[in-house]
Amino acid sequence: MFTAYVVVVVATVVSNIAAAIADFVRVPWILGNMSKNGVPHSWLYPLGIAKAVGALGVLAGLAVPAIGVAAAAGLVLYFIGAVVTVARARWYSHLPFPAAFLLLAIGCLVLRLLSP
């Protein structure tokens, strides 16, 4: 079970750090997505920081389980918000993207709770 947890942690960390970097660089397609979803561009840096901190917390959870649980729970809440935001914008074809991040965060949380 712990091996599965490590694999999901690595995937979660890599994907969230990449997403945070894209936020910090202000990639044009992300700005377009934010506009289409009705999210102010001024939120980009705080959202990127939340992703980066969550990813680092999940990584720290390999050594300190309580940090991993807290970080994974935070990412679950973050990406529930992202899914709801995309759904409220009625951009249903875009739902798989935040949903994939949400599933990774849920995987980290569940596997951390199940691992010794």
Query: How does pLDDT run across 28-81, given as a tens digit for each residue?
Result: 999 999 999 999 999 999 999 999 999 999 999 999 999 999 999 999 999 999
Residue 63 near residue 9, CB atoms below 8 Å: no
- pTM for this model (two decimals): 0.93
Domain spans, the chain: 2-114
If you count DSSP H runs as helices and E runs as strands, how many of each does the chain have, helices first? 5, 0
